[in-house]
Copies of this chain bind each other. A is one copy, B any other.
Amino acid sequence: MTPPAKRTTSADVARAAGVSRATVSYVLNDRPGQSIPEATRRRILDVAQRLEYRPHGTARSLASGRSDIVLLAVPDLPIGASISRFVEELAAALAEHGLTLVTHLAGARGRPLPDVCATVGATAVIGFTPFDPDAVRALQRAGAQVVLPPAADGDAAMVPIGRIQAAHLIDRGHQRLGYAVPAHPDFEQMAAERLRGATDACIAAGLAPPLSASVGLDLQTAGRAVTDWIAAGVTGVCAFNDETAMAVLAAAVHHGIRVPAELAVIGVDDIPVAPLAAPPLTSVRFDLHAVARRRVDLIVAGLAGQEPSPESPAMAAVQLIQRSST
């Protein structure tokens, strides 16, 4: 039969160390202002280690009200590997504050986010795209103390990406730009932000805004976009992401259009296969580390009761990876 595998409880530790459970609690959470003799302290820590004691998070959070669990809601998008880098950064940064990150994939057939939030007892919920006020309210009622991004804010971080892309092409002499928006409707909002960045760059350079076109991951739609662009005199295209960029690339090659001579293409994310494209794809990569830290700061501040936070709007450090597609 399955071993019931009794967990080690805080009482076990207390007994083995010859102190009370309260003392154990104090030591393990090293609460300040409880001058406990170093000897006792060490003994308790020792015993806990030896017994492989692991605080029962469930009980702890019930008692304390806090849970130290942060829930990351990932939209059900065909997101690539870049997201896992972000998640990892986030988890690491949160861990430094004693917070535990778990992820929930939003998919329609799974459970609704507020349910998940209530089930795991998350203290904070982080999303990729901003939550609307109703969603925020629902999450709060489900126990979340902090919900990010709060309003239509966070996506401001997307703007610089488009700007960098366009600026790069403009730098290289392109005067008429195209923008490839992915066909997937869920990307719409994000794409609009990035396009805005590209538009800003064009206007700042005295050029016309980019000619945007919808591009799916197939030669059909990509081909149509490419011919339209060429017809309009576009010589450089910013793609929403690398997948879309690769579709543009493939379509250009398919139509006998030389890249980058006749059409330059730049993506976003620097996915693993980007260097393997023909020609290798120029891409833009943003500093997930910085973004993650920023998010974590906001959470920690929020949990500590401070309102939103002082400053720092969109400090997404964006890095350009130049390859031969531009």
A binding-site residues for B, Cβ under 8 Å: 2-3, 5, 7-8, 52, 54-59, 61-62, 67-69, 71, 74, 76, 78-81, 84, 87-88, 91-92, 95, 100-105, 107, 109-111, 114-116, 118-121, 138, 140-143, 145, 217-219, 243, 246-247, 249-250, 253, 272-273, 275-278, 305, 307
Contacts and interface: CB of A to CB of B under 8 A. Distances in A.
Nearest to A5: B140
B81 A78 contact: yes
Nearest to A105: B87
Given A54-B141, A91-B111, A275-B218, A102 B116 contact: yes
Given A79-B81, A103-B103, A218-B275, A59 B62 contact: yes
B276 A119 contact: no
The 6 closest A-B pairs by CB, nearest first: A92-B109, A57-B119, A91-B110, A58-B121, A102-B102, A88-B107
Say whether chain A's binding surface is mostly helix, strand, loop, or mixed.
Answer: mixed
A272 B217 contact: yes
7 contacts: A2-B307, A5-B141, A57-B121, A58-B121, A120-B120, A217-B276, A243-B273
A221 to B, nearest CB: 12
A88 B109 contact: yes
A276 B246 contact: yes
A147 to B, nearest CB: 11
A119 to B, nearest CB: 4
A91 B249 CA distance: 35
Given A69-B119, A118-B56, A243-B273, A7 B109 contact: no
A71 B69 CA distance: 13
B100 A84 contact: no
Contacts of A74: 84
Contact of A84 (B79, B92, B115): B79
A88 B74 CA distance: 11
Given A57-B118, A58-B62, 8 more contacts: A5-B141, A78-B84, A84-B105, A91-B110, A101-B104, A102-B103, A102-B120, A103-B103
A217 B275 contact: yes
A55 B118 contact: yes
Contacts of A61: 58
A56 B107 CA distance: 23
A54 B114 contact: yes
